[in-house]
Structure 1
Amino acid sequence: MISCGSDDADPSGGGNSNLNLGPVGSSANDLLSSTNYRFLQVEIQYAEGFAPPQESINYLQNFMNSRLNKPAGITLSVSQTSAPGQASYTLEELRNIEDESRTTFTEDGKLAIYFYFADGNYDENENVLGIAHRNTSMVLFQKRIEELSGGVGQVSTELLTSSVLVHELGHILGLVNNGSEMQTPHQDEANGAHCDNEECLMYFSVESASGISDLLGMSSPPSLDANCLSDLAANGGK
């Protein structure tokens, strides 16, 4: 497993736009299609010392270009933001960081999503490497990712980060059966919004540190399988 989790609890927040406070998967069609939004802005913020590898940013950009119908373009911004410097963070604390730091929101024909790269672990489970927790909000626990990668006999930090990035994005795109309707049954119901194909990017084992060994020998993250691709295409994606 690699790392992801999704939290569909009712979101709340202070300075965040109401259009960015929905549950995971509720903006899947807006993200995938060009019907309501032809332009997407991706804001990536990180705690000091935990910037994402440039190779992972490039992979994310290419992944989005290949799957999202955004004829006016997809742009990314990357910046450092202040962080409390805690060893671990609750979901509420992570949402507070976003509400205080996020600067780009969905408005005036522009769709916006947000990634935060944290300097601590997830309070609920230190082996969770990423979560999708609102309709446009995701967190990567980059400190933990770096602890588990980049060394002798370990997967590269770039590969692990890229895998977590696109897995979390998959959740806000409505996978699996959580905003993008299944064209063929393939949900692993025992493990929530995940695919039942163990070779797929959205398999549940791509969500925790215990499955990192599955990436050994791979040169790029797992791909979406045919069923997941079909779901995205049916919901307005490429």
Structure 2
Amino acid sequence: MKKIGTYLLATLLLISLAACAPKRYERKHGPVDSSSATKSSEKVSEKTDESQSNEEDEEAIGTLSKADEADIHSIIENSASLTYSLQVQPTRLLELNNDHGAIDGYPQDMFIDYYNTYTPETYQLQDIIDKLDAEKTSDSIRSFSQDKLIQLVNDKKKGWLYSTKDKAFYEVVPGGRGGAMPPMEIPSPDDWVINDDSVEVTTTIQGTSEPYRRFVLKRNHKEYKGGTHKTRFYVDSMEFAKS
């Protein structure tokens, strides 16, 4: 009986130990197949190569997109102005009939876009203020009464002001601007000269084959604050063509 009791006790002890043993968890996901990992790596590499290729295409002047062509055409077309460009349209605050004096206002973003499109340099707002030698004022010139505007013309005579409140430039013009530019024709993109880093476009006087103005444009990677329309290209140089 004593042996039987000992045997039963040992059996119960083994059953208890088995019940307390930690459970084994099965793997929910099978091991990653090496071929799948290789394919995934190849896809990432392909995307990286494609991204780099796209960046190189954007830098290459030799492949002009339709958007590039439209941008260049617009820049040249809007250059037909005696002052700035056709997109730089002033708001006339005052016009004096007796001596043709006037005050014209220009939003600052208009000039920021202009100088960064039609000149090779990069212009920030302060650069334009310096270039125009504009007098800074905290007054809102657009809010001036007519009498105060007339007084401004009499005091300033001519020149530029920049209103920090209006965020605008104002020109006191002593007399009217006369004259006109001859209408020009812009050749088809097929006739543009595409160099490594620039595009040359020579316009002609409308109705003739006489060369008029030659534009050299480059991709616009300028970094500046302000403006409302950053063009894809900028004018690196412009000269009157010799026939």
Structure 2 length-normalised TM: 0.23
Of Structure 1 and Structure 2, the greater helix share is in 2
Compare relative contact order (CA 8 Å, sep 6+) and give the higher one, 1 or 2.
1
Going by fraction, where is strand more abundant, 1 or 2?
A: 2
